Chain A
Amino acid sequence: MSAMGALLPDENILLDVDLAGRTGLFHAVGELFERRYALPADKIAASLDARERIGSTGLGQGVAIPHARIKGLERAIAAFVRTRVPIAFGAPDDKPVSDFLVLLVPAQATDLHLQILADVATRFDDPEFRGMLRACTDAAAARALFADWVPA
């Protein structure tokens, strides 16, 4: 199992949720992390938003990797959210996004964290991975796909 498996437990996967726009998404993600890790939801939403203002974390093809540095966080944690209706996200191909891998990292982010982002981006770049991810109907299947995927 790759590092991805430890980052993304089943409980951090939300499939086919109804969310209104980027604000709604970051709010929902903040609440998820607050519930699971007692992190402040508002702070997380604001930090994700701050990173997004540098440039969209949308990669094209309906996928994005929003991420933020969070003070007090000791290790990276992730969530995967699939929205029922794609939302506008400023992606490079101008397409709205439905599949979000959200990553929170410690305030002192390192090359390791950049590597995690690159690993997720590699998965999302692969049409076969995207297809299989969209076919997942439960959290366990999505988690296993992220964990076990071997890039071509």
Chain B
Amino acid sequence: MAAVTLSSPQKARILAEALPFIRGYHGKTLIVRFGGGAMADPALKAGFARDVALLRLVGMNPIVVHGGGWRIDRLLEQMGIAVRRHRDVRVTDAPTMNVVEMVLGEINQELVGLINRHGAKAVGISGQDGRFIHARRMALPVEAGETEAPDLGQVGDVERIDPDIIDLLLSRGFIPVIMPIGVGADGTAYHINSDLVAGRLARTLHAEKLILMTNVPGVFGRDGKLAYVLTASEAEALLADGTVEGGMRTRLTAALAAVREGVRSVHIIDGGVESALLLEVLTNAGVGTAVRSDAGPHFLADSRSYFAGPAED
């Protein structure tokens, strides 16, 4: 994005325009999944932490869920632990899980420190704390040529979330910073995809907004153009016909489930844009794709039926 120098009246106008958004989201819960390339860029990471602190300080309840991504792979490589994947999912045996927990813990404390530096109070937690994320072993469906489902080790899926500890932290004004580790019934720790955790948390807490930050501008449609609004059925169709691939599949699936279960506003945004989070929450500039329920307005179809209806007097 080109650097822009703003005049004082322009700055004042931007602040005034943020007011209705600040009022609208006051006291509301926003779940933000932080990950992707923004995590690799110290300036973007520090900017993200500042933006989260700002949202808290103007009265919203942000919750951060972060991933570990490439930093896990890098440390595994440095430690000489071979990485195996099944359909893009990292097979996580016990030594791999140790590295996963190490990297997630490190990222978690970095984010907590950065947020705290901006005057808010962040608390880093894992799903093991208070056993709030109940997990189960993730099973991939058996595909052609396989006799049994691949064993992914300690890769988990969310069984359920017990939001007590989150409610407690929010009620005291803390910002929970969550690493995506869950606990199985037998006490085993599982690494869970951070988009899945964020989506499930948004559904459990009936959050006002779910924001999934990613590396790309948003979701691209069949025509190759960025879709800035997708209805649930449009999103489903893009998943079904394979238009959406790779990590975006998991992200869009999590977004879709959240929308279907009543999270009002779900956004997949470009974490590489400076202050993407503030732009998304406090302005009417979209910085990605909004996913919405099928109910609600359909502009041209509504107009067609309005024009076809009886004329008013």
Contacts and interface: CB of A to CB of B under 8 A. Distances in A.
B297 A56 contact: yes
Contact of A93 (B19, B228, B303, B312): B228
A141 interface: no
A135 B313 CA distance: 39
Contacts of A69: 306-307, 311-312
Interface string B284-298: 111000101000111
Contacts of A67: 303
A60 B20 contact: no
Interface string A66-83: 010101000000000000
A94 B302 CA distance: 18
A96 to B, nearest CB: 6
A57 B299 contact: yes
Interface centre among B16, B290, B313, by most chain A C-beta atoms within 10 angstroms, is: B290
B306 A88 contact: no
Interface in A19-45: none
Contacts of A55: 296-299, 302
A6 interface: no
B21 interface: yes
Given A85-B17, A114-B307, A65 B312 contact: no
B90 interface: no
B312 A92 contact: no
A85 B229 contact: no
Contacts of A92: 229, 231, 290, 292, 296-297
Nearest to A50: B312
Interface string B1-18: 000000000000100110
A118 B305 CA distance: 14
Size category of the binding interface on chain B:
20 to 34
Interface stretch (A7-15, A105-113, A143-151): A105-113
Nearest to B301: A55
A90 B24 CA distance: 13
A54 interface: yes
Interface residues of A, number: 40
A61 B311 contact: no
B290 A94 contact: yes
A53 to B, nearest CB: 10
A58 B297 contact: yes
Interface string B75-114: 0000000000000000000000000000000000000000
Contacts of A105: 307
A84 B302 CA distance: 28
A108 B311 contact: yes
Contacts of B285: 61-62
B20 A86 contact: yes
Contact of B20 (A61, A85, A91): A85
A110 B19 CA distance: 41
Given A85-B19, A93-B229, A96-B20, A60 B296 contact: no
B297 A86 contact: no
B304 interface: yes
A88 to B, nearest CB: 7
Contact of A114 (B13, B286, B303, B311): B303
A90 B304 contact: no
A10 to B, nearest CB: 23
Given A69-B312, A95-B284, 13 more contacts: A55-B298, A59-B299, A62-B285, A65-B299, A71-B311, A90-B297, A92-B290, A92-B292, A92-B296, A93-B286, A93-B292, A94-B264, A98-B284
Interface of A: 47, 50-51, 54-62, 65, 67, 69, 71, 84-88, 90-98, 105, 107-110, 113-114, 117-118, 121
11 contacts: A55-B302, A57-B299, A85-B19, A90-B297, A92-B296, A93-B286, A93-B290, A94-B290, A96-B284, A107-B312, A108-B311
